[in-house]
Amino acid sequence: MLDLDDLRAELDDFAQPAKKEGCSPREERIIAGFEEIQQFFTKNGRAPKHGEDKDIFERLYAVRLERLRAVEEYRSLLAAMDHQGLLSGVQHAVTESESTMDDDELLAELSEGGERSTSITDLRYVRSSFEKREAEEIASRDKCEDFDRFQPLLESAESELKSGVRQARPFGKEVSVIEGNFFILNGQLVYVAEVGDTIKAPNGENDARLRVIYANGTESNLLRRSLQRALYKDEAGRRLSEPDAGPLFREALDEDDIESGFIYVLRSLSTHPYIAEHRELIHKIGVTGGKVETRIANAVHDATYLLADVEVVASYQLAGINRTKLEKIFHRVFASVQLDLTINDRFGHPVRPREWFLVPLHIIDEVVQRVLDGSITDVVYNATTAQLISHG
């Protein structure tokens, strides 16, 4: 018969692993970064991978996971959390200098274009005291206590980047940093939440203290010029453009515009169990410069149309349409309800059709009306309330 101590020991084997108590800010950042990878795994059913065909965030997560696997200190810190076995991949040889580098430096070192020199005269890890202070300031972060305020903004920016509404552009040396800007620094999405009063730097130039929020739930209070230098030095550092798609309707047509055409909404007649169950909600939204009937004539042989016949449930005739920008608007508004379904095409190759969304027809009609009156700019679809809401 087990005594109480034996029973407690038995139950401990089934206890949920707890995060390490009393973690340093650096350890908290590492844990938060690993949790983002775990969330990716939960959503996609696999670990993030490298590859030009992968989106920028998956590639950044892949770099981060590779570094976490490579450093014994990180594996030990995260072992109790790794219920998905993410850290049990192939281990990589790690140099002594790598083992002493912090998380940010490792990610920056292995970002795009960050190949390592093999010359014995390369002193790239010998930094001046000024550079060390600067790196410490960049890396010094604390937990963001009101992260719930900023998380929707960061998630929206990430969604807009993936859908093409925002662009990730190289950071120029003289580019300013203002409140509301989004950047990618050392593989992490960051948001400039506040810009303090202007102060004089030691060299006489103007500077300001910033409040910068990171996607992993941390924040830092650093100088604007320190952030600018860090972004400029990070070869993978990027500024996210503003979500201004430019004019949608105009008199002078560009190469990607069509003089007249249709926004069309289709419903699939597929017998696929999931599609049949949600048929009234699953719609494809597209734009064509010709007749809709011609566009869908071969639907049953096209994976884009789920390899099944479709019916036209709505169409809207427009003129002077920028096709690409109009499609990006629909993808941005309905990004949270894009159909996540993979089917095999007629050659047996897996295909994940785009432009299909789980959204009621009357909401699509409202979006089209907002496109026409110009009020679509700040709107996204909330699946919980089945309403269009302002994402600001």
Check pLDDT > 90 for residue 267. Answer: yes
pLDDT score at 22: 62
Query: What would the mean pLDDT of 278-284 be, rounded to a whole number?
Result: 91
pLDDT score at 94: 39
CA dist., res. 192 & res. 214, Å (int): 9
CA dihedral 186, 188, 191, 197 (to 10 degrees): -30
pLDDT score at 15: 47
Q: Which range in 98-107, 115-124, 312-321 is most confidently predicted, on average pLDDT?
A: 312-321
In the chain, what percentage of residues exceed pLDDT 90? 10
Q: Which residues are CB-neighbours of 100 under 8 A, at least 6 positions away?
A: none
Q: What does pTM read for this prediction?
A: 0.38
- Point out the least confidently predicted range of 5-9, 28-32, 83-87, 341-345: 5-9
Check pLDDT > 90 for residue 249. Answer: no
Tell me: the pLDDT tens digits for 14-25? 444 444 456 777
CA dist., res. 248 & res. 103, Å (int): 43
CA dist., res. 102 & res. 93, Å (int): 17
Query: What does the H/E/C string look like for 74-140?
Result: HHHHHHHHCCCCHHHCCCCCCCHHHHHCCHHHHHHHCCCCCCCCCCCCCCCCCCCHHHHHHHHHHHC
- Long-range contacts of the stretch 287-295 (C-beta < 8 A, 24+): 287/258, 287/261, 287/262, 287/263, 287/321, 287/323, 287/326, 287/327, 288/261, 288/262, 288/264, 289/258, 289/259, 289/260, 289/261, 289/323, 290/261, 292/262, 292/264, 295/264
Q: For residue 86, how far is the Cα from the chain centroid?
A: 20
Query: What would the mean pLDDT of 244-257 be, rounded to a whole number?
Result: 47
Question: How distant, in Å, are the alpha carbons of 144, 151, 155, 217 from that of 148?
Answer: 9, 5, 11, 9
pLDDT score at 211: 92
How many CA atoms does the CB half-sphere of 176 hold within 13 Å? 7
Higher per-residue pLDDT: 346 or 312: 312
Where does the pLDDT of residue 225 fall: very low under 50, low under 70, confident under 90, or very high at 90 and above?
Answer: confident
Sorted by where each begins, the domain ranges of the chain are 23-111, 137-240, 257-390
Query: What would the mean pLDDT of 214-232 be, rounded to a whole number?
Result: 88
Higher per-residue pLDDT: 135 or 326: 326
- Per the structure block, which two tokens stand in for 123? 């002193």
Pairing label, strands 188-200, 310-322: unpaired
Q: Each residue of 169-191: b (16+ CB within 10 Å) or e?
A: eebeeeeebeeebbbbbbbbbbb
Mean pLDDT, the chain, integer: 75
Question: How distant, in Å, are the alpha carbons of 32, 142, 250, 268, 323 from that of 23?
Answer: 12, 11, 56, 52, 51
Tell me: the pLDDT tens digits for 46-85? 898 887 777 778 888 888 898 888 888 888 888 888 888 8
pLDDT score at 392: 53
pLDDT score at 213: 94
pLDDT score at 284: 92
Q: Which residues are CB-neighbours of 350 under 8 A, at least 6 positions away?
A: 342, 343, 344
Higher per-residue pLDDT: 141 or 313: 313
CA dist., res. 269 & res. 308, Å (int): 6
Where does the pLDDT of residue 212 fall: very low under 50, low under 70, confident under 90, or very high at 90 and above?
Answer: very high
Check pLDDT > 90 for residue 358. Answer: yes
CA dist., res. 236 & res. 21, Å (int): 33
